[in-house]
Amino acid sequence: MSKTPAIQLRDYQQQAVDSVLRHFRHHSSSAVIVLPTGAGKSIVIAELARVARGKVLVLTHVKELVEQNAEKVALMDTELSIYSAGLKQKHVDGKTVIASVQSAARNQTQFNAGFSLVIIDECHRVSDDDTSQYQQLLTTLKQHNPQLKVLGLTATPYRLDSGYIYKRHYHGKVGSESAIFDDCIFELPLRYLVKKGYLTTPKTFDGLSAQYDFEQLSPAENGDYSPGEVDALIAHQGRATTAIIQQLIQLSEHRQGVIIFAATVRHAAEIMALLVEHNAALITADTPATERDQAISDFRAKRIKFMVNVAVLTTGFDAPHVDLIAILRPTASAGLYQQMAGRGLRLAPNKPDCLIIDYAANGFDLFAPEIPQAKPASNAVPVQVPCPECGFANSFWGKVDADGDIIEHFGRRCQGLVGSERSQCTYRFRGKICPDCGAENDIAARNCHSCNSMMVDPDKRLKEVLTSRHHHLFRVDSMQLQDVGGVLQIDYFDIDGNQFSETFRLQTAAQRRALFAAFLKPHDRRAGLPFPQYSTAAAVIDDARRFRQPDLLLLQKKPKRGWQLVDKFFDYQGRYQIGANFCD
């Protein structure tokens, strides 16, 4: 039996430790635990090191974290040594070794003692590149002990460019197929820490004097925006920056420390000019290390009130007194937004709350679950959509009405894990059918996941069809549903007022099935959520807002029968967005 710890663990810290012990008792797959900043990760690490039977190696990428972890491990009365060139200590003889990954990777022969557990702090930094320092070191450690257990800790398990850092989540949710870690075994929501008083209450502020409009920006795959485009947009928004900084100066009068997240280096310079008489410092990725350290220590000592930065103070930076966070940069990443806001949530004396102001109208909820997809529209919110096949409650981006009912969601594939294999549920809320084998694929798939044949590029197909005669591409500007003597008529109008209509009867079961296949399902904004049994046209019309309009209709003129519908295109972003006129 191990001695009782020197520090009393908080309930969730003990739960995290227990989940690790439980996992490694039964499995050897690598594991991740997710704890928000401020949850006390080093205490969890220290307790794990204390109760582990064999030798434990704790790895991090910066010497500050080596020190912080070593301090907590020492409190737990564990025999420890430190291996970090930056700290001028290189010992590996303790039961617990706390190392910087750079120093350890450069001296791998020293790490031959047969560690039983390796704990990686800030594990979202581990890359899947086999030649990375982490991977090389893990390979060496496994040579000395093939049973080595690998545990990662992080506050940010999701990246817009590469997805989740784990393959499966213990809530029965899928992660990313190619992730480095296997299982997420514990995750603590930020809300819990605030509710229990372990973090400061974030206070949002609505009385904005000005706000940037970044709505027309579209992010790159990794969720970033082009600095040039951002600068151009800011330049077009006149005196917004002046008004924002004036308001910040006012609001911060009784605040202790303010962090301003600027969008670009040029934007930051503009902000600095407005703060010239107000004790401000600027750091960017290019600020020399000594200057940067000086600015940070001045800020921590409250000699500087405003800390302006461009993409540098999101992780690792800790100044508990910060009680105003001003976000003046756009981001499509909920995780990045939470990291920025998280800089202000530490408890500190004379700090009843932290004001968090989103001047970029990013519109994220600090407590919302992570949605594995860039935010598709500025008014999108997280919605819960149960899978009709496995019942898993998916979190997707969506739109809701004033009552909170879902109007639309942007989910594609169910995120649930099913079966004893725990593989991803195959249900797709939206998909496209492979013309060769009939398998359903993601709407953006280039190759069929089943038969690997090329999925048809809509533009290529349209180009072919439109060069043949009697075809017309109808660009839908609006859509209306009407009841014509019990028949459901769908009218489409293009920008010139031309009309094309489809009609559906609902008398027989076969007619209702046809309506479902040709209209209800493809037009459904709330894919996968059950439909009522529509038995009349009027009932469908009552639900009209549930049905989205297609972007394009491909029509073909048939002898005697006139224009006939060949295909509908939803979510179309190709070259044919500007419709031609009706002609044959």
Binding site for Zn ion (CB under 5 A): 387, 389-390, 392, 414, 416, 425, 427, 434, 436-437, 439, 448, 450-451
The radius of gyration of the chain from alpha carbons, rounded to an integer in Å, stands at 28
Q: Is 470 left (phi over 0), alpha (psi -120 to 50) or beta?
A: left
**Cβ nearer to Zn ion, comparing 159 with 449:** 449
Instruction: Name the pairing type of β-strands 324-327 and 393-400.
Output: unpaired
CB atoms under 10 Å from CB of 96, counted, come to: 27
Q: State the residue for tokens 């014509």.
A: 484
**Cβ nearer to Zn ion, comparing 144 with 422:** 422
In whole angstroms, the minimum distance from the beta carbon of 443 to Zn ion comes to: 15
Selection from 445, 417, 384 nearest residue 166 by Cα: 417
**Containing H/E element for 16?**
helix 11-26
In whole angstroms, the minimum distance from the beta carbon of 420 to Zn ion comes to: 16
**Cβ nearer to Zn ion, comparing 389 with 477:** 389
**How many angstroms separate the CA atoms of 118 and 96, rounded?**
10
**Cβ nearer to Zn ion, comparing 372 with 550:** 372
Across 387-477, the runs of DSSP E, i.e. the strands, are 393-400, 406-409, 417-418, 423-424, 432-433, 440-441, 471-475
In whole angstroms, the minimum distance from the beta carbon of 417 to Zn ion comes to: 9
In whole angstroms, the minimum distance from the beta carbon of 181 to Zn ion comes to: 23
**Cβ nearer to Zn ion, comparing 275 with 448:** 448
In whole angstroms, the minimum distance from the beta carbon of 446 to Zn ion comes to: 12
**Cβ nearer to Zn ion, comparing 513 with 521:** 521
**Cβ nearer to Zn ion, comparing 124 with 413:** 413
Q: State the residue for tokens 């048939």.
A: 558
**Cβ nearer to Zn ion, comparing 227 with 431:** 431
**Cβ nearer to Zn ion, comparing 444 with 583:** 444
Q: Which two tokens stand for residue 126?
A: 């581990």
**Cβ nearer to Zn ion, comparing 438 with 486:** 438
Selection from 155, 169, 75, 80 nearest residue 121 by Cα: 155
Q: Which two tokens stand for residue 216?
A: 């027309």
Q: Which residue type is seen at 239?
A: R
In whole angstroms, the minimum distance from the beta carbon of 409 to Zn ion comes to: 14
CB atoms under 10 Å from CB of 217, counted, come to: 14
In whole angstroms, the minimum distance from the beta carbon of 533 to Zn ion comes to: 23
For residue 56, list its beta bridge partners: 96, 117
Q: Which two tokens stand for residue 258?
A: 């303010």
**How many angstroms separate the CA atoms of 307 and 284, rounded?**
11
In whole angstroms, the minimum distance from the beta carbon of 444 to Zn ion comes to: 15
Q: In Å, what is the CA distance from 480 to each residue of 117, 486, 565, 566, 570?
A: 63, 16, 17, 20, 16
**Cβ nearer to Zn ion, comparing 214 with 429:** 429
For residue 487, list its beta bridge partners: 484
Q: Which two tokens stand for residue 8?
A: 């009393």
**Cβ nearer to Zn ion, comparing 61 with 428:** 428
**How many angstroms separate the CA atoms of 305 and 301, rounded?**
10
In whole angstroms, the minimum distance from the beta carbon of 528 to Zn ion comes to: 9
In whole angstroms, the minimum distance from the beta carbon of 373 to Zn ion comes to: 17
Q: In Å, what is the CA distance from 439 to each residue of 427, 460, 506, 528, 557?
A: 12, 21, 29, 18, 30
Q: What are the backbone dihedrals phi and psi of residue 531, each rounded to the nearest 5 degrees, phi first? A: -95, 150
Decide: 66 and 104 in contact? Cβ < 8 Å: no
